[in-house]
Structure formats: C-alpha cells, structure tokens
C-alpha cells in the first residue's frame, strides 16, 4: 500500500492538548507522541501544544515520550476526557552519575558514529510529513507561513545519499499589514526533511573532530533507557559555525536528539552575502533541534525544529521551519517516480493555495499556526485571491530555469596553405598549418515545461584570436532520469535549429582610413580578418549530467550538426577595444580578392566536420 493513501483519514478523532512538566507546570516542547506499536503520531510544538488524529474503530494506547521524563501511556478513551498531559521528570540516582575523561568520551563518540549504519534504517523508508515554515513578529505571532503535506523517500543510512519528496498539499497565509514591513520574503524548503537529518548527513561535528571540544554534561532517561548528554563547541581560535549537544542512548549508542546553537562565526557571516541582498537583516541567534524515535531497536527521523531570531529595521522577527513525521513505512518501499518528484526549486509561497480557500481539517497534525475567529474568517473568505507580485512572477519563472557554462570543442579542418586576401586598401597574407580544432566558451539555458520536457537556447564564442567562432541554437530538450536518489544522474537529448559562424585567422592589417565592410563602418587603426563558413542547419546532441552538489552538476556531452545552408565567408573585426565592430561578407563578392596557394578561389578551404564535444557545469534550480 502506498503511503499517500494514509492521508485519507476516515472518521478520525482529533485530540488537542498541552504537555507540561508535572512539577514545574512548564510546557514541554517536541514530545514524541505515538500510537503504541506503530510509527504513527506527531510531536508537541515549541509551546508544548499538540494535535493528534486517531482513526476510529479501536481504542488505541497513546505513548508520550521525552528525554529526561518518565514515559506515559494513556488509553484513547481516557485521553478524550483530559487531553492535557503532565510528565514526571526522571531522576538520576547519584550512584549512576558518570565522569568520563576526554579520551574515553572521544572513543564513545567514535563508536556511536561508526554504528550509524547499524542503528538507523539499512533499507529505504517512506514518510508522511507535515511541514510548516514562516515568519513571526516580535510577539511570536505568524505574519506569514506555508504549510505542506508531503511524502518523503529516504535511502538507507549506509551512506549520505539525499532522498526525494513529493508535495501532496500546500497552503499559505499572509497578514499583509505586518508582512509588508518585513522585506525578507520566506519561501521555505520542502526538502528540509533530508537537509535537517544531521545523522544521515554525517555532519562534521558528529565524528570526534580535532577542532571541537566534547564534554559529558548530564544523564537522562528515555523510555527506561539511559541517555548521555554530550556538549560540543569549537576549540578556542577555531572559527567554526556551530555548537550544541548530543543525546545518545548508552546501550545502543544511537543518537536520539541533536541540538544546535550558533557561534560568533555564524552570526558574523549570516546574511553577509556578496550582493548585499540582505544587508538590512541581521541574524542574532537560532535554536535547531532534530529528534529521532526508536521502533524495533532502529532509530528513525521523527521531527526537526528551527527558530532563528532576526533584526530588521530595529524590529524583531523569527524565522520558523518545522517538520513532523506523522507516519512511516519501512517494508517494500517504492521510490517516488521522477515525474512526481518535487524539485529543489519548488517554492511553496508561489504554488500554495490561499489559507482561506483550503480545507485541512482531515490533515493538519500540528496545532493551528493562527486562530481564526468568526470576524476574521469572514474577512478571509470574502477577500479576493491576491495577484502575484512582479517579484513572485519573476521567481516562479527563474525556478524553472537551468543554466550552464563550459567549453565546447568543434572539429573542423583546413589543409596547410598560403592564403592571400585583399579588400580595398587592406592586404592579409598568412601561411596556415593544418588546423582541426576550435575551442569555444559556451553558455546555455533551459526553461523546463515539465520534469521531462524543456526549451533551450545556447550560445558560444571563441577563446582564441587564432579563429573566429560564434554559434547559437534553439532546441527542444528531453530529460531522462538515470539515477534520482542520492547523487542524481540525468541524460539530455536535444534537437533544434543552429547557426554557426567560424573561420581561421589571416592575421591583421593596419587601417589608415575608415571603411565599410558588410554594411558596417570600421574606424579602428587595426583590423583582423578570418576566412571560413557561415552555416545554418539542424543540431542534435546528448549530454550526461552528474550531480556534484545540491544544484551543481557536471555536464559532459556530444553533438552533431547538419547544414542546410552554407556560405563561404570572410569575417573582419576590429583588433582592439571592448566593443569591437565586426561584420562578414560572402567570399564571392567582386571587391574581395582571395587566393589559396596563388590560385583565385571563392572557396575558403575550411571544412566543418560537423561534430563537437562539450564539458561544463550546470546550475539546476
């Protein structure tokens, strides 16, 4: 059964409550809440509130678990009467307190790191995830947010391969009066269930590192299991970005929770981009928590929470991003088909349904981000759907673009010969050796109509003064997925119309007076001439894209060109200057005198062998 079917909850009973410390009565955030014997459930939010949907037809037992507290199990029938839950702190006897020297602690951390493949899923898993991300004002009230329901495919923890996601439902809310005051526009990343998985990504501070100090700072209990709390921070003088704590199960050495905080280095670099796009925004602090849960002795990703404090024009804002796994499938897991995968460029703010037009009563698994009273609801539902701004339209277009740059090798030939060219008062004489290659700098761009289909445009120009080469093509691109989990690999087949101008250099000539050539006026004191071809025709190609980083790919390809129109041509362009005039004329013009080895000719001698190779870097949004 596919995971998507679990989104349809028939006759579900909803429980909403708050989880607190039984002694201090303070709220407890990120408590794992599950239906006993399953991986279905949720977590409490940053304020201890929770929202849980339970299918009817059975009296489930609900489990509440949190590190440092005694776990609690409550029958569904009893929870209905009082959904608020108080957890008792678990006390560590003095006899259990452990002091661990640095060498022993590093050995302990090394074992925990090496046991990741054993303690975490060794086969692919599939998750149903509820995501929320947005901006809060200084009173911690949402002024805009996105909510997304998605399916996530996560490969084995034996390596760091990224997984894939499929967005199933999404909605957005924007409180216009306040949100307009904050220029930073939050878009949210639906791939954060993979990016936030510190254990699978083998973040640098997990493995005992010479640039970090580690210290055992406490012991806790979790479901009757002893847990060590280990703090880490950069050594003095080491400019690293993070510090935090690990919560490690002593028996299995599995990581149950990781907490991160920023260092001064992170605060210094945050929003300090080269273009200065965020120069009026300052990052001050953040809290990042990743939780894992245990099922049948295996640790699974459960939730992540990120809250960053920002200052913009002397006002405080909070950037929020949270993910909660509501169900998990670990048997006979199928990959998400390529055409259903949501790309890294997906922007919920642009694609989502307006909050007022959405109905999520059967789906939401976290407390509401905003409380809508009757008056506000009437205003929301009567408000017309806002038109997208120019910025939103631009970003939506850009998110469909792939860009690339690199070098292209064209194969052509010209036999060794003495070339003489005269045009008006200019004379060019050159002894040419056998030539057979052209190396160009190439850029290309593809607008994706769908995951498979796109329209592309590319241009290239010569990298050497020894030849003149300019070419372009407009083409259809078919993208074929070869590998879509981990480091992605794609094949691209293209077919389109191409135009090519290229020629061999005949040297330079001094110009004492201005002259016209090819309908253009030349005024420079020195010009360079080239002999070659001007062609139009059809081009087909194939290239292989291999992922290097999140949006960077290595591109290797080949192409073939069929000319349906060829003109033997002379090119002249100014030898100096930033903006150089250049033009071309057919070689058979009466005012052009062209000789090969002393024999008049209207044939340049250049032959296009029609094939080429390319190597470059693609940026795929």
Which tens digit of pLDDT belongs to each residue from 397-456?
888 889 999 999 988 888 889 999 999 889 999 998 877 778 899 999 999 998 899 999
Out of 52, 70, 87, a domain closes at: 87
Same domain? For 407 and 549 the reply is: yes
pLDDT over threshold 70, residue 176: no
pLDDT confidence tier of residue 126, bands split at 50, 70 and 90: very high
Same domain? For 105 and 70 the reply is: no
CATH number of the domain that residue 25 is part of: 2.60.40.1120
Q: What is the pLDDT of residue 171?
A: 85
Q: Is residue 393 part of a domain?
A: no
Q: What is the pLDDT of residue 161?
A: 85
pLDDT over 70, % of the chain: 87
Read off the tokens for 196. Answer: 């936030």
Task: Give the residue numbers spanning the domain of 597.
Answer: 400-620
Out of 48, 70, 87, a domain closes at: 87
Whether the CA torsion 431, 435, 437, 438 is positive or negative: it is: positive
pLDDT over threshold 90, residue 121: yes
d(CA 231, CA 260): 10
Same domain? For 268 and 414 the reply is: no
Q: Is residue 211 part of a domain?
A: yes
pLDDT over threshold 60, residue 291: yes
pLDDT over threshold 70, residue 136: yes
Same domain? For 179 and 311 the reply is: yes
pLDDT confidence tier of residue 8, bands split at 50, 70 and 90: very low
259 with 288: CB under 8 angstroms?
yes
Average pLDDT over residues 3-21: 65
For the ranges 218-222, 228-232, 390-394, 493-497, which has the lowest average pLDDT? 390-394
**Ranked by mean pLDDT, which of 27-31, 258-262, 507-511 comes out on top?**
258-262
Q: Is residue 313 part of a domain?
A: yes
d(CA 202, CA 191): 17
Q: Is residue 395 part of a domain?
A: no
Sheet hosting strand 41-43, strand order edge to edge: 41-43, 32-35, 61-65, 72-75
Q: Is residue 478 part of a domain?
A: yes
CATH number of the domain that residue 540 is part of: 2.40.160.20
pLDDT over 90, % of the chain: 49
Same domain? For 102 and 48 the reply is: no
119 with 298: CB under 8 angstroms?
yes
| DSSP-H helix ranges across 198-250 | 198-201
Same domain? For 82 and 100 the reply is: no
Q: What is the pLDDT of residue 377?
A: 45
Angle at 591 between CA 587 and CA 592, to 5 degrees: 35
What is the chain's mean pLDDT, rounded?
Answer: 85
**Ranked by mean pLDDT, which of 207-211, 248-252, 313-317 comes out on top?**
248-252
Q: Is residue 291 part of a domain?
A: yes
For the ranges 165-179, 272-286, 420-434, which has the lowest average pLDDT? 272-286
Q: Is residue 572 part of a domain?
A: yes
Same domain? For 230 and 369 the reply is: yes
420 with 428: CB under 8 angstroms?
yes
d(CA 139, CA 184): 18
Out of 32, 55, 87, a domain closes at: 87
Q: What is the CA radius of gyration of the chain?
A: 32
Q: What is the pLDDT of residues 54-68, one digit of tens each?
A: 877 788 899 999 998
Same domain? For 33 and 159 the reply is: no
179 with 135: CB under 8 angstroms?
yes
For the ranges 1-10, 351-360, 465-474, 564-573, which has the lowest average pLDDT? 1-10
Same domain? For 68 and 109 the reply is: no
pLDDT over threshold 60, residue 485: yes
Q: What is the pLDDT of residue 326?
A: 87
Same domain? For 169 and 50 the reply is: no
Same domain? For 330 and 444 the reply is: no
Same domain? For 68 and 140 the reply is: no
Work out how many domains the chain is built from and give that number: 3
- Per-residue CA distances from 254 to 116, 195, 228, 323 (Å): 7, 19, 10, 21
Does 301 or 140 have the greater pLDDT score? Answer: 301
Burial status of residue 435 (CB atoms within 10 A of its CB: 0-12, 13-18, 19 or more): middle
Q: What is the pLDDT of residue 315?
A: 86
Q: Is residue 350 part of a domain?
A: yes
Using the CB atoms, write b or e for 579-604: b if 16+ within 10 Å. eebbebbebeeeebebebeeeebeeb
Would you say the pTM of this structure is higher than 0.85? no
């Amino acid at each position: 059964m596919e995971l998507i079917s679990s989104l349809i909850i028939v006759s579900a009973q909803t429980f909403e409550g708050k989880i607190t410390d039984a002694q201090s009565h303070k709220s407890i955030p990120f408590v794992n809440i599950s239906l006993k014997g399953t991986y279905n459930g949720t977590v409490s939010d940053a304020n201890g509130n929770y929202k849980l949907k339970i299918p009817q037809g059975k009296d489930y037992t609900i489990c509440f678990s949190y590190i440092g507290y005694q776990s609690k199990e409550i029958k569904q029938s009893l929870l209905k009467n009082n959904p608020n839950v108080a957890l008792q702190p678990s006390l560590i006897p003095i006899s259990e307190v452990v002091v661990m020297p640095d060498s022993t602690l590093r050995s302990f951390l090394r074992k925990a790191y090496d046991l990741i493949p054993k303690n975490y899923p060794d086969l692919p898993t599939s998750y149903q995830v509820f995501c929320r991300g947005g901006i809060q004002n200084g009173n911690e009230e949402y002024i805009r947010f996105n909510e997304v329901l998605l399916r996530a495919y996560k490969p084995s923890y034996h390596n760091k391969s990224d997984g894939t996601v499929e967005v199933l439902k999404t909605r957005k809310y924007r409180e216009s009066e306040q949100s307009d005051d904050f220029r930073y526009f939050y878009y949210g990343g639906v791939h954060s269930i993979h990016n936030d998985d510190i254990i699978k990504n083998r973040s640098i501070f997990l493995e005992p590192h010479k640039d970090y100090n580690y210290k055992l700072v406490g012991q806790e209990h979790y479901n009757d299991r002893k847990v060590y709390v280990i703090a880490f921070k950069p050594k003095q003088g080491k400019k690293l970005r993070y510090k935090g704590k690990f919560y490690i199960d002593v028996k299995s050495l599995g990581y149950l929770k990781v907490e991160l905080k920023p260092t001064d280095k992170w605060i210094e670099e945050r929003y300090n981009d080269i273009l200065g796009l965020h120069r009026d925004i300052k990052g001050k602090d953040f809290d990042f928590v990743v939780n894992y849960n245990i099922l049948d002795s295996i640790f699974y990703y459960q939730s992540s929470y990120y809250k960053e404090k920002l200052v913009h024009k002397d006002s405080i804002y909070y950037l929020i991003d949270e993910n909660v796994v509501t169900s998990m499938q670990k048997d006979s897991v199928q990959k998400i088909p390529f055409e259903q995968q949501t790309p890294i460029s997906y922007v919920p703010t642009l694609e989502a349904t307006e909050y007022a037009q959405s109905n999520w009563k059967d789906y939401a698994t976290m407390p509401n981000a905003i409380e809508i009273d009757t008056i506000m609801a009437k205003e929301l539902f009567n408000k017309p759907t806002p038109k997208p701004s120019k910025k939103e339209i631009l970003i939506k277009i850009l998110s469909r673009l792939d860009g690339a740059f690199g070098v292209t090798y064209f194969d052509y030939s010209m036999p060794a010969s003495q070339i003489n060219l005269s045009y008006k008062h200019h004379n060019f004489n050159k002894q040419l050796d056998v030539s057979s290659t052209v190396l160009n700098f190439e850029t290309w761009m593809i607008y994706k109509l769908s995951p498979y289909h796109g329209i592309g445009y590319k241009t290239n120009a010569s990298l050497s003064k020894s030849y003149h080469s300019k070419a372009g093509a407009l083409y259809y691109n078919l993208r074929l997925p070869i590998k879509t989990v981990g480091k992605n690999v794609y094949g691209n087949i293209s077919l389109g119309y191409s135009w090519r101008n290229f020629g061999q250099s005949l040297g330079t000539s001094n110009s004492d007076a201005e002259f016209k050539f090819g309908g253009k006026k030349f005024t420079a004191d020195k010009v360079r001439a080239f002999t070659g071809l001007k062609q139009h025709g059809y081009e087909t190609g194939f290239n292989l894209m291999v992922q290097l980083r999140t949006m960077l790919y290595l591109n290797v390809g080949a192409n073939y060109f069929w000319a349906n129109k060829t003109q033997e041509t002379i090119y002249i362009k100014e030898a100096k200057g930033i903006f150089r005039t250049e033009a071309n004329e057919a070689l058979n013009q009466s005012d052009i005198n062209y000789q090969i080895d002393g024999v008049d000719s209207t044939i340049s001698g250049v032959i296009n062998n029609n094939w080429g190779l390319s190597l470059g870097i693609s940026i795929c949004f």
